[in-house]
A and B are shown apart, each in its own frame.
Chain A
């Protein structure tokens, strides 16, 4: 059974204070690892897909990296508008569904 664990559960940062969110996963034959951003009461917004260890992707202040056991979402010089819950999900070989972690709630204080 695929499993995803995200840490920390919550993170408060001062504006401009860089940090990283962690996503540890267990999956049989990783087909893809996905990062989403979710604002309260809204649907998850797709950010990145990573397919193999060593892969990196960037978008504005966000950078996602992947190893064989975990993924990191690095946030550089965050702004208050980056405040949201960040979700990590995986899909494995033979699976048609995403298995989500419970998310990291990020608060960026001005």
Chain B
């Protein structure tokens, strides 16, 4: 158990819908990262927050957004969902940006 929690574990929804994925980092970690993992692309970095502020953006679509709250939990919002958005979404946390990242169990999103 990494200490990072993610909810829900599974999410099934339809195209065009909007969903919210939630992540709670390890106790004491200030950085939260979101990754997308699909079969053909591997793990792709989406976005990072550090102590409530956006720190870095990767291959994140404009339809996706995230935020980190004062209690340090984070939410990833996915809107106007498409079939291609079906993937595993992982949250990771670290003490700071140069430390090893610890991953949560992931949310499996299926868009029908």
Contacts and interface: CB of A to CB of B under 8 A. Distances in A.
Interface stretch (B12-20, B72-80, B94-102): B94-102
A43 B97 contact: no
Contact of B45 (A31, A98, A101): A98
Interface string A82-110: 00000101010001111111110000000
A100 B42 contact: yes
Interface stretch (A44-52, A63-71, A73-81): A44-52
Interface residues of B, number: 25
Contact of B42 (A46, A96, A97, A102): A102
Interface residues on A, range: 20 to 34
Contacts of A41: 88, 106, 108
Contacts of B55: 96
A100 B43 contact: yes
Interface string A9-38: 000000000000000000000011010100
Residue in A32, A42, A44 whose Cβ sees the most chain B Cβ within 10 Å: A44
Contact of B101 (A31, A42, A98): A98
A91 B98 CA distance: 8
Contact of B100 (A46, A87, A102): A46
Contacts of B45: 97-99
B104 interface: yes
Interface of B: 2, 4, 31, 33, 42-43, 45, 48, 50, 55-56, 58, 88, 90, 92, 97-98, 100-106, 108
22 contacts: A32-B98, A41-B88, A41-B106, A41-B108, A43-B4, A43-B104, A44-B43, A44-B90, A45-B2, A46-B101, A46-B102, A89-B43, A91-B98, A96-B48, A96-B55, A96-B97, A97-B45, A97-B56, A97-B58, A98-B45, A100-B43, A101-B42
